[in-house]
Structure 1
Amino acid sequence: MVFIEIVLVAFLACWLLYRWLTVYYDEFEKRNVPYEKPYPMVGNLGSVVLNKEPVQKTVIEFYKRNKMHKIVGFFNFRNPVYVINEPELIKKITVKDFEHFPNHTPFINVDDDPLLAGMLNIMKDQRWKDMRNTLTPVFTAAKMRNMFPLMNECFSECIKKLKTKMPNGSCEFEMKQFITRLSNDIIASTAFGINVNSYQDPNNKFYNVGQSITRFRGSQMFKFMISNVAPWILTYLGMKIFDKEKTDYFTRLVIDAMKYREKNNIVRHDMIQLLLEAKKDSAQHWSDEEIVAQCFIFFFAAFENNANLICAASHELMSNPDVQQRLYEECLEIKEELQDQPLNYDIANKLKYMDMVLNETLRKWSFASFTDRVCSKDYKLTDEDDNFVFDFKLGDRVWFPLGGLQMDEQYFENPDVFDPERFSDDNKGNIKPFTFLPFGAGPRNCIGNRYALMQAKAMLYYLVINCKLERSEKTVKDIFNDMRGFNVNPQGGFWLRFVSRK
């Protein structure tokens, strides 16, 4: 009898768990929206969670199967999401009717973590607007121009290390780790005000902490999934996605630096200095913790993504020698104009073909495979001809499949082909608006896009001037299908051969 009761209780518990995991799985059917059948807990992200494919591929393939629908349902774990496939509708939601969709959906539970809750991309409504207005002057061309010399110091160390690897004029190595160290040092210098040389000290704490925070694998991946499915579990267990000791490390860095500079009247053209100035000029009376939060999201967004952009662009240059040669010729012209002086912000902006190469890399690789919004008040969506499309309700989550749009042959002919000419002065006007959105769209687009492009452009300049990029024996043939999970990091790595041009 006891055994039967145990079995019945276990069965009931499993049934209740299943019902809880799938409670929203009839959402789209009730609202007459096409969708694909999800799996319990993981939704439509099963292949990503099981480490079978990258999230970019999941989003792109889902878009290809469903692009005939203006709106299609997708399950992000157990949460229903409305995917918008029409560029005109994306424009309405992100720009024209922005007041109905002013916020992002928090990608992690931040209720009990003031540091994460204070990040710009997590902030909502008026609080977000106030912080965005405070930060906007930080990313002007003038501020980036002043910051550029700090980056140059890091580029110099990177190229110096690269040359030591080529005693016989060439070498081959895995590029991601090499460039991640550069990204680490640039962020340490420009955002946190500390000098770190990850080539001389490869195990420095700033780099190790950054690596552990930005890599969504293992236990951190599991906690991220739980945060999406059942955030109360993490709260109950007293667990956080990011280890408190590591987030405290960044907090101490920023607060100690701010106090030291204010006490000693030290001025340095980096992010901390710009945030200090923005804090003084703002009427919002931002706390030190809220300023720290902006440094943290800056690190979180830039550490991995900036390295990914440089690695992907280098891989494409290696794969397309004609593109690499043309870029090299442009860089040579700039080098002659500089007359042995280091690159500067204004001269870097003259690299027009470099811009084309980076834009095509962003299009083809879709590092941000989607961006999102959440409905803040009921909204009736209509198309350009004012025909009814859908009734959104308060709390509905919306995705825009950037990866799918950017790889759609309807908008980009031969999308698998790397062709920078798509972004030439003669051709870029033909790109349909809201089909190329690497940094998002509308008022909530990425505020740091100028910084990211500046870093990538300068590093590629120094790289191409000094080295010819060639295929290595270890270079992955199908690099996109070799990636897994949420990171742009092929299992076989970004292997290249570097041949000195001198």
Structure 2
Amino acid sequence: MALLELCLAFLAIGFLIYKWSTATFNTFEERNLYFEKPYPFVGNMGASAMQKASFQKQITEFYNRTRRHKVVGLFNLRTPMIQLNDPQLIKKICVKDFEYFPNHQQFISPNERLINDMVNVMRDQRWRHMRSTLTPVFTAAKMRSMFTLMNESFSECMQHLDTYSKTSSGKKGFEVDMKGLCKKLSNDVIATTAFGLKVNSFDDPKNEFHEIGQTLVFSQGLPFFKFMLCLSAPRLFNFLKLKIFDSGKVDYFVRLVVEAIRYREEHNITRPDMIQLLMEAKKESEDNWTDDEIVAQCFIFFFAAFENNSNLICTTTYELLQNPEIQERLYEEVKETQEALNGGTLNYDTVQKMTYMDMVISESLRKWTLAAAADRLCSKDYTLTDDEGNKLFEFKVGDNVSIPICGLHWDERYFPEPRKFDPERFSEERKGELVPYTYLPFGVGPRSCIANRYALMQVKGFLYNLLLSYKIEASARTTKDLWESARGFNVTPSSGFWMQLVPRKE
């Protein structure tokens, strides 16, 4: 009898868990919106949630199946999201009628230090005030100063590669995991430009800043599944007192920034990095920002730039080894730029003049976009209509919106032969053909990425240095099909971004 009762209890618990996992799945049926049948717990995102495909691949495939509908229902795990497949509707929601959709969806634990103080999580007026405070930090003038700090990290990276090249036994260059290399580079660049620290992760890969930084990335592994749990079951996540980020590591970053600010204020030290710029912005702002609010901007900057900037270098170098003629043309521009500098050091303004470099990076961002999708949260009831005034959908307060960036980028209606790596799409002659709001590598509207200049100058600066010294070729371990092998939030193969670097002859 006891065994029967136990079995019935397990069945009852299982049934309740199943009902909970599917409780939101009638949302779109009730609101007469087309959607695909979701699966318990994972919704329409099963492959990416189970690490069987990248988020980019799953979003793109969903978009391709549903793009005949301008508005479609998507279940991101248990969360119902209204996906916009039409560029004009994206413009309406994210730009023209932004006041109805001013915030990102809220899904992070409210008890975690710094999380709610980050500019991308802030809401309404608080966000507007912080955004206006941060905007001057990322102007071209500020980037010029910061680029000098980046140059030191580029130089140390190249010295590391040169040393490795000389000790390598390979007859034709040496094999390198570009992701591992670029994570060290990103770590050092962020340490110096954001936190005012001087570290060399190539000579000392176990330095404290690098070791702690590695633990704050949640794109794969156990941190990824913790993040998935936070998304799908925030109450359970909070009940179990889990954290997205390790509290001790977060406290380390807080101490790092606060102590640096105090020391600089006491000793009148000025340095062209983010801490300095935030100190100046805080003084000029009418808002009395707390230490945590200032530190949080450095924090989001760290874990966004750490992974994304290194990934952009990896996908770009991957395309260069797959397309040697494009690599050769880019090398010629790099060589011409070096000669024009006449022995001088690479600077921000010179980087901006490399037009083919910009075309190559733009196409890399198109094909391998850093963010698979953007999101918005409806704050006021809103009726979405098409250009003719026909009603398409009634948004309610609390509705989550999804913009399928990677789907748009891989849509042959906007980018013919989307799997082809073609920098000419962004040439002066052809970039006017781009359909507005189909190319969104840094998001869209007032909520777009504020640090795109920073990301681009790091990637361009490093590629300039790399191509001057090395040809990039495939190695035995180079991923054959990046689209199929990538996993998690970033387009990163589990085996790594292996490639061959071949020294150029003088």
What TM bracket, shorter-length normalisation? over 0.9
Question: 1:39 Cα shift?
Answer: 1.4
Q: Aligned to 1:329, what secondary structure does the other structure show?
A: helix
TM-score if structure 2 supplies the norm length?
Answer: 0.97
Give the letter for the 1:386 counterpart: G
Structure 2 distance, partners of 1:237, 1:172, is 44
Task: List per-residue Cα deviations over 1:197-246 (Å, max 9, x = no partner).
Answer: 00000111211211121143333222212211221222222221111111
Q: What are the residue-to-residue correspondences of 1:101-180 with 2, within 5 Å? A: 101-106=101-106, 108-167=107-166, 170-180=173-183
Structure 2 distance, partners of 1:392, 1:496, is 48
Structure 2 distance, partners of 1:362, 1:109, is 27
Which residue does 2:259 correspond to in 1? 256
Which residue does 1:286 correspond to in 2? 289
Which residue does 2:324 correspond to in 1? 321
8 Å CA contact 2:113–2:250 kept in 1: the answer is no
Task: List per-residue Cα deviations over 1:244-265 (Å, max 9, x = no partner).
Answer: 1111111111111111111111
Q: Aligned to 1:166, what secondary structure does the other structure show?
A: helix
Structure 1 distance, partners of 2:2, 2:422, is 70
Task: List per-residue Cα deviations over 1:451-477 (Å, max 9, x = no partner).
Answer: 000111111111111111111122111
Structure 1 distance, partners of 2:143, 2:318, is 27
Q: Aligned to 1:403, what secondary structure does the other structure show?
A: helix
1:236 to 231, 236, 239: 239
Task: List per-residue Cα deviations over 1:339-383 (Å, max 9, x = no partner).
Answer: 122200111111000000000000001221100101001000011
Question: 1:169 Cα shift?
Answer: 6.6
Q: Aligned to 1:81, what secondary structure does the other structure show?
A: strand
8 Å CA contact 2:109–2:234 kept in 1: the answer is no
1:429 matched to 2:432? The reply is: yes
Give the letter for the 1:170 counterpart: G
Structure 1 distance, partners of 2:63, 2:220, is 25
1:185 to 183, 188, 194: 188
Give the letter for the 1:247 counterpart: V
Structure 1 distance, partners of 2:409, 2:188, is 31
8 Å CA contact 2:405–2:440 kept in 1: the answer is yes
Q: Which has the higher mean CA deviation after the structures are superposed, 380-389 or 355-364?
A: 380-389
Alignment length, in residue pairs? 501
Q: Aligned to 1:163, what secondary structure does the other structure show?
A: helix
Q: Which has the higher mean CA deviation after the structures are superposed, 457-466 or 129-138?
A: 457-466
Q: Which has the higher mean CA deviation after the structures are superposed, 215-224 or 426-435?
A: 215-224
1:40 matched to 2:43? The reply is: no
RMSD: 1.2
8 Å CA contact 1:215–1:487 kept in 2: the answer is no
Give the letter for the 2:83 counterpart: V
1:199 matched to 2:202? The reply is: yes
Question: 1:488 Cα shift?
Answer: 2.3
Structure 2 distance, partners of 1:181, 1:169, is 24
Which residue does 2:413 correspond to in 1? 410
TM-score if structure 1 supplies the norm length?
Answer: 0.98
Give the letter for the 2:119 counterpart: L
Structure 2 distance, partners of 1:285, 1:46, is 44
Structure 1 distance, partners of 2:220, 2:401, is 26
Structure 1 distance, partners of 2:39, 2:474, is 40
Which residue does 1:420 correspond to in 2? 423
8 Å CA contact 2:109–2:238 kept in 1: the answer is no
1:210 matched to 2:213? The reply is: yes
Structure 2 distance, partners of 1:148, 1:164, is 24
Which residue does 2:2 correspond to in 1? 2
Task: List per-residue Cα deviations over 1:97-118 (Å, max 9, x = no partner).
Answer: 0000000113x42311241000
Q: Identify unmatched segments of 5+ residues in structure 1.
A: none
Structure 2 distance, partners of 1:85, 1:391, is 16
Q: What are the residue-to-residue correspondences of 1:265-344 with 2, within 5 Å? A: 265-344=268-347
Give the letter for the 2:135 counterpart: T
8 Å CA contact 1:51–1:485 kept in 2: the answer is yes
1:93 matched to 2:93? The reply is: yes
Task: List per-residue Cα deviations over 1:405-462 (Å, max 9, x = no partner).
Answer: 0000000010100000000001001000000000011100000001000111111111
Structure 1 distance, partners of 2:270, 2:160, is 29
Structure 1 distance, partners of 2:65, 2:363, is 24
Give the letter for the 2:148 counterpart: P
Q: Aligned to 1:300, what secondary structure does the other structure show?
A: helix
Give the letter for the 2:157 counterpart: C
1:440 matched to 2:439? The reply is: no
Give the letter for the 2:477 counterpart: K
Give the letter for the 1:295 counterpart: C
Task: List per-residue Cα deviations over 1:169-213 (Å, max 9, x = no partner).
Answer: 721111110111001000000011101100000111211211121
Structure 2 distance, partners of 1:448, 1:320, is 29
1:400 matched to 2:403? The reply is: yes
Give the letter for the 1:329 counterpart: E
Structure 2 distance, partners of 1:476, 1:221, is 23
Structure 1 distance, partners of 2:418, 2:501, is 28
Question: 1:46 Cα shift?
Answer: 1.1
Question: 1:59 Cα shift?
Answer: 0.4
Which residue does 1:474 correspond to in 2? 477
Which residue does 1:63 correspond to in 2? 63
Which residue does 2:51 correspond to in 1? 51
8 Å CA contact 1:91–1:434 kept in 2: the answer is yes
8 Å CA contact 2:35–2:74 kept in 1: the answer is yes
Give the letter for the 2:41 counterpart: M
Q: Identify unmatched segments of 5+ residues in structure 2.
A: none
Question: 1:316 Cα shift?
Answer: 0.7
Q: Aligned to 2:72, what secondary structure does the other structure show?
A: strand
